[in-house]
Amino acid sequence: MQATELSAQCAGCARASRRAYRFHELEGVRLRCLGCALTHRPLLRRSLSIALVVGTVLVAINQGDALLGGHWNGALAWKVPLTYVVPFVVATWGALLNCRVSLDATPSKEDVNGDRAGPSRRRARP
């Protein structure tokens, strides 16, 4: 069976994209391209909140003794910010993987069995 390429129009920039990210918004479910998904304010806000909490805990665990003991050195200047960047990237990446929609028209096993309607959410096959 020949797979047909589908595309979706991004709700942010109106570009057609074969890979889209689904967001539940006030207007309903909307699809966005990767660029618009990465700049989607609710996603960024949630990732920043997670990074603030997790980063603070990790800084306390890893650098707490140095910070409380007053042993500030140059390495803290990159270690502390990097400790906040890692959970931000992980939270953002996880959210994008979770809402990713592949518009591959090849029916998945669930589609064939009639369990789901619409395009498959499975990853596109090379």
Per CB under 5 A, which region of 21-29, 30-38, 77-85, 117-125 contacts Zn ion? Answer: 30-38
In three-state secondary structure terms, 95 is helix
Q: How far is the CB of 114 from Zn ion (least distance, A)?
A: 32
99 binds Zn ion (CB under 5 A): no
For Zn ion, the binding residue among 8, 20, 31, 33 (CB under 5 A) is 33
One-letter amino acid of 35: G
- Residue from 20, 31, 36, 95 touching Zn ion (CB under 5 A): that is 36
101 binds Zn ion (CB under 5 A): no
Give start and end residues of each alpha helix (H) in the chain.
Answer: 34-38, 41-69, 76-99, 109-113
Specify the residue, 58 or 103, whose C-beta has the smaller distance to Zn ion.
103
Which of 44, 50, 61 lies closest to 86, judged by CA?
50
Query: CB of residue 23 vs Zn ion: minimum separation in angstroms?
Result: 11
CA torsion, ordered 79, 82, 84, 86, to nearest 10 deg: -130
DSSP state, residue 26: T
Residues that bind Zn ion (CB under 5 A): 10, 12-13, 33, 36
